[in-house]
Amino acid sequence: MPELPEAERARQQIEKALGREIVAVDDRDSYVCRPHAPGEIEQALVGHSLTKALRRGKFLWAETDRDGPELGLHLGMAGRIVIDEPPHTPWDRFTLHFADGGSLALRDKRRLGRAVLEPDYGHVGPDAALVSRDAFRQRIGRGSMAIKARLLDQKSISGVGNLLADETLWQARLHPRRPSGELSEEELDHLRRTLRAATRAAIAKGGVHTGTFIPHRKKGGSCPRCKTAVERATIGGRTTVWCPTCQV
C-alpha cells in the first residue's frame, strides 16, 4: 500500500512515540534490520527516547535524545507503523518497547520494510510535494529514460510510487513513454504543479486510491475524460496504464 501519503501517516504515528524511554527493542529480523546483527539496534537505542519524526518521500527517520543514533524506517510495499497495539507475530518485524508499557512496531506482512541505525539517505532526492521549480526542471528534465521511470526514481525526486505516477501523468496529459529529457520547460512546470497537487490531495484524502484515474486503472477500464479504453504496458519495470487519446 504505502506511497507518500501512507508514509506521511506513518510519520505522524511515530510522533506519538516521541519522548518515551526505550527499554527494549525487538530487532531479531535480520533481513528487515540488515546489515545489523540481532541486538545491535537494541543496544544502541535502549535508554534513549525518540525526539523528532522526519520524512522525505517514503523514507522515514527519527532523531533520539542525548546524542543517540538516528533510527531509519521504511515501510516497503506493505508496512505500517502501529503504536501501543498488542503485538502481532510474525508480522511485527521490528518493535520498540517503552518504559510506560507501550510500543512502536513496524507491522509488515511482506517483510519488505526496513529498520536501520544512522540511515544514509544521501541519495534520496527532494520530496515530491516540496521540490522547487528549478530543482524539478534540472532533476527530471534530463536523460533518455521514460518520464514514468524518471518519476519513480527516488534519487531524482522522492515519494512517487507506481500509482501516483500513473495518476499524475494522466492528469498532466503526458504519455508515460516520453523521454524525460525531451520535455519542454512548460511541460515540466505543468507536470510539477500537477504532481504537487496530486500528492497533497492524496495526503489529504488518505491515499493514492482516491485519485481520479486510479479507479479506472483496472483491466477493461476506460479514460474518465474521453472514455477511450486504457492501455497497459510495463514501463520502468512497473505496470503502467494510460489513456492513448489524452496522453501525448
Partner DNA sequence: AGGTCTGTTCAGCT
Partner DNA sequence: TAGCTGAACAGACC
User: By rule CB under 7 A, what string of x and - marks binding of each residue 70-99 to DNA?
Assistant: ----x-xx------------x---------
User: What burial letters (b/e) apply to 7-20, b meaning 16+ CB within 10 Å?
Assistant: bbbbbebbeebeeb
Tell me, yes or no, if 16 is annotated catalytic. no
Q: How far is the CB of 116 from DNA (least distance, A)?
A: 9
110 part of the interface to DNA, by CB under 7 A:
yes
2 part of the interface to DNA, by CB under 7 A:
yes
If the CB atoms of residues 49 and 180 are measured against DNA, the closer one turns out to be 180
The per-residue DSSP string of 37-52 comes to PTTHHHHHHTT-BEEE
If the CB atoms of residues 22 and 165 are measured against DNA, the closer one turns out to be 165
User: HSE (CB half, 13 Å, CA atoms) of 84?
Assistant: 11
154 part of the interface to DNA, by CB under 7 A:
yes
Of 80-88, 133-141, 144-152, 198-206: span binding DNA (CB under 7 A): 144-152
The x, y and z cell numbers of residue 93, run together, are 518485524
Among 5, 68, 125, 236, binds DNA (CB under 7 A): 236
What crossing angle do the helices spanning 4-15 and 185-205 adopt, rounded to 10°? Answer: 50
Tell me, yes or no, if 2 is annotated catalytic. yes
If the CB atoms of residues 109 and 190 are measured against DNA, the closer one turns out to be 109
Among 109, 137, 193, 196, binds DNA (CB under 7 A): 109
Q: Could you tell me the CA-to-CA distances from 23 to 12, 50, 97, 101, 115 in Å, in that order?
A: 22, 12, 6, 9, 17
199 part of the interface to DNA, by CB under 7 A:
no
Q: How far is the CB of 226 from DNA (least distance, A)?
A: 22
Element (H, E) at 107: strand 103-108
176 part of the interface to DNA, by CB under 7 A:
no
User: How many residues of this chain bind DNA (CB under 7 A)?
Assistant: 34
229 part of the interface to DNA, by CB under 7 A:
no
Give the span between the Cα atoms of 79 and 68, in whole angstroms: 25
- Going by C-alpha positions, the residue among 70, 82, 133 that lies closest to residue 108 is 82
**Single-letter residue type at 55:** R
Q: What is the edge-to-edge ordering of all strands in the sheet holding 22-26?
A: 22-26, 92-98, 103-108, 79-83
User: HSE (CB half, 13 Å, CA atoms) of 68?
Assistant: 24
Tell me, yes or no, if 238 is annotated catalytic. yes
161 part of the interface to DNA, by CB under 7 A:
yes
Residues that bind DNA (CB under 7 A): 1-3, 31, 57-59, 74, 76-77, 90, 109-112, 123, 142-146, 149, 152, 154, 158, 161-163, 181, 232, 236-239
What are the catalytic residues?
2-3, 58, 238
